[in-house]
Structure 1
């Protein structure tokens, strides 16, 4: 049986994807393939999490802004996997819990282990600057201990830097370089454990540190 890790890099536009030298090396060696996508509108996070994980556009799902914090009404990768008897996991921002497991309580839901939920094994955070390095280490531990068939890893540091400094800034690019380093360490380990890896983003970031609109910097993302 194939196992899958979906790495969702929040806020990484395609214009900085060439800074991911390790992923580019896999592509040049014939061990990976790169595509460029145009995100749905509005090009903001919560609606696009729903699009990526259910296949529905924001207008179809009704998740059309970041303030809508109800549970998804759609079939998601998590719910389909669970109905098929597969184990699911997410190391992700707490909005993912709100969409697919229900209301989030930081005292109770920082760690989730419940086979009745759409996300069986969860490790959730709520600060945008929570270190990507910690997230990948947590992911590695969940993979070792729980062996899920589907896992979502969702990072926020690139998005956070983009909002602070702009999508064309050196500090934004530096966060891409850092995440590339962490991925080069962990992806080979996960491949050895039988996982296929997909890396993508929800939206990009314009030069002023904004997204939500229809510009190329905001909508063009790598896969």
Structure 2
């Protein structure tokens, strides 16, 4: 292959390598969520048996401390106080560990894979029934104090009052004495994003929420009031969330007050159980779409205090849970008989389908690498050039490994937990892409001093990036389908749009410099 053909091959690969990842990355946030319908929702009508309802708490408070991981929560005096009067459980929030998706899961009992809420940017209402809707239908007054409007955007009919407060105010002191109030302070999360979970600023924010929550607890009477405290995610030491790391995807959930059993030992919980537990303690029907089957709903009977909640009521609620499970099992058998009515098997089958859809792209990746090696060998035979097939494959492999290592080493992970702030992430990845691609290109030239070989290997890198980018929407759906992929794959389109953009930009400059070389030589001769 001539130098000119190498140049044109590189330019064609770069044109695709710039356009495809950029288009997919730019549209990705809009393609993540499906609030209007979700995925594989199983609606089950539920009614609490007449005359079986429990005595409702005088005031009920659900506190969602945004950005508070379970490790930081364990340091709080308020958590110790809640544990002393009720029970606290380490709680898995699932993936993605992002705010709006977890708000949806807390409210509905339905996991992120099926709510269709997979990102923070979709402001449309969610299809699923929430505990807020059920409380309003039961005639309860439901208030919110938050820095964000996101809860109201998700559930516009769920609240009687909604205060958007400044971050400097005491959210707990502003909580009205309604039947049910959601208190949602955001300053812990903001400190995590700006400074990281290992920072003094984050510790100060945790200390502040501890003081303010403790003051609220002292104002309440846990003999007749109810408090549930939880969070949506933690933060990485550098700041960021979204992945499945231990301190990020696990929070603390505490129940205390009327109807709650006292259990001093820390237990475990899924975030999908928080909404149903609130419904149980308030005497409300369970949310119609809550996760049932391969669930942890039996923990409800450990949360509920049988000395306070009537036996007939608990029996009615146990029967309701079994009804939900049977309905989910029947739906699963209809959708996929091989699932045998199990959500775990249903998930596994769909993950296998995603892997099968990616197989042709794995073959295409292999084809690109084989084609790269064959072209190198043909050049070596025809042009008596140094053999470059193994060097080219090594260059591609080393570039990929070092790119991953740099991302993980400098940002802590290859997933959304590495993104503390959108602007900072863009700046970091652009600089990383430009610096590492330039360094790799210079290293290639110093070791080989072969212009065509350099362009061939850059073209192979560009083509591999394009294939990987295309595999994502084909295997997972243009609008991200079911189930949500692992965190690294979930993150890839954002990273690829920037990293591959810089790779291809450097490659275009290389092609331009090499392509202009004959013109510079001719100009020197004329001079």
Q: TM-score, normalised by structure 2?
A: 0.36
Matched, 1:90 2:144: yes
Aligned pair count reads 196
**Any conservation in 1 of the 2:77–2:214 contact (CA below 8 Å)?**
no
Q: Distance in 1 between matches of 2:158 and 2:213?
A: 26
More strand by share: 1
**Any conservation in 1 of the 2:60–2:227 contact (CA below 8 Å)?**
yes
Q: TM-score, normalised by structure 1?
A: 0.83
Matched residue SS, 2:240: coil
**Any conservation in 2 of the 1:6–1:198 contact (CA below 8 Å)?**
yes
Alignment of 1:184-195 (within 5 A): 184-191=214-221, 194-195=224-225
Are the structure 2 counterparts of residues 191 and 72 from structure 1 closer, same or farther at C-alpha, using a change threshold of 3 Å?
farther
Structure 2: gaps spanning 5 or more residues: 1-55, 254-527
Corresponding position of 2:110: 56
Matched, 1:168 2:220: no
Q: Distance in 2 between matches of 1:100 and 1:201?
A: 19
Matched residue SS, 2:183: strand
**Any conservation in 1 of the 2:170–2:212 contact (CA below 8 Å)?**
no
Corresponding position of 1:210: 240
The correspondence for 1:12, drawn from 62, 68, 81, is: 68
For the aligned residues, what is the CA RMSD? Answer: 1.6
More helix by share: 2
Q: Distance in 2 between matches of 1:25 and 1:78?
A: 27
Matched, 1:31 2:80: no
Which structure would you say has the larger RCO, counting Cα contacts within 8 Å and 6 or more residues apart? 1
Are the structure 2 counterparts of residues 216 and 192 from structure 1 closer, same or farther at C-alpha, using a change threshold of 3 Å?
closer
Matched residue SS, 2:117: coil
**Any conservation in 2 of the 1:19–1:173 contact (CA below 8 Å)?**
no
**Any conservation in 2 of the 1:97–1:124 contact (CA below 8 Å)?**
no
**Any conservation in 1 of the 2:69–2:234 contact (CA below 8 Å)?**
yes
Matched residue SS, 1:22: helix
Q: Distance in 2 between matches of 1:6 and 1:64?
A: 23
Corresponding position of 1:119: 159
Matched residue SS, 2:96: coil
Corresponding position of 1:150: 180
Q: Distance in 1 between matches of 2:71 and 2:79?
A: 15
Matched residue SS, 1:34: strand
Corresponding position of 1:112: none
Larger Rg: 1 or 2? 2
Are the structure 2 counterparts of residues 196 and 94 from structure 1 closer, same or farther at C-alpha, using a change threshold of 3 Å?
same
Deviation at 1:193, TM superposition (A): 9.0
